[in-house]
């Protein structure tokens, strides 16, 4: 089960980063490049920031084509850190990262759809 969750997470992340339409802006306060990627239908696909040398940094959010948050992830200078959350209908998967590696995976399910914290 853990291997299936990890594979699903990697596929979601890879597909999310495959979006082409985007907007970029230098955030002078943080010295990071803020980016927004869009789905083909114009809905926001992902939001996050890059360092000037192209490494993901800070919180990244991924959204479905309907605008529902599906992933909350954190990076520190290109390395995966902290708790990542994956919403999928009636399940929530929490993946904890330590030293850029998966430390633990927890999953919760409900008979009702779990609300994402937009």
- Structure confidence by residue, pLDDT tens digits, 55-71: 999 999 999 999 999 99
Average pLDDT, the chain: 85
Q: Is residue 116 part of a domain?
A: no
Q: Is 115 within a domain?
A: no
Question: Is 20 contained in some domain?
Answer: yes
- What domain range is 15 assigned to? 2-109
Query: How, if at all, do strands 69-76 and 79-80 pair?
Result: antiparallel
Q: Please give the distance of CA 49 from its chain centroid, rounded to a whole number.
A: 12
**Residue 79 in this model has a pLDDT that exceeds 50:** yes
Identify whether 118 is part of a domain: no
Integer-rounded Cα radius of gyration of the chain: 15
Domain count, the chain: 1
Asked whether the predicted pLDDT for residue 1 surpasses 60, the reply is no
Q: pLDDT grade, residue 30 (50/70/90)?
A: very high
CATH number for 96: 2.20.110
Residue 113 scores a pLDDT above 80: no
Q: Is residue 95 part of a domain?
A: yes
> Is residue 22 one of the residues assigned to a domain?
yes
Cβ-proximal residues to 118 (8 Å cutoff; 6+ apart), any chain:
68, 69
């Amino acid at each position: 089960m853990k291997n299936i969750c990890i594979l699903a997470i990697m596929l979601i992340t890879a597909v999310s980063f495959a979006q082409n339409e985007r907007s970029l802006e230098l955030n002078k306060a943080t010295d990071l490049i803020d980016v927004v990627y869009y789905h083909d239908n114009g809905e926001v696909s992902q939001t996050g920031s890059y360092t000037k040398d192209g490494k993901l940094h800070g919180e990244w959010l991924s959204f479905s084509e309907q605008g529902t948050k599906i992933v909350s992830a954190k990076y520190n200078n290109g390395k995966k850190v902290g708790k990542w959350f994956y919403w999928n209908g009636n399940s929530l998967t929490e993946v904890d990262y330590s030293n850029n590696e998966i430390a633990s995976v927890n999953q919760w399910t409900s008979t009702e759809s779990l609300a994402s914290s937009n």
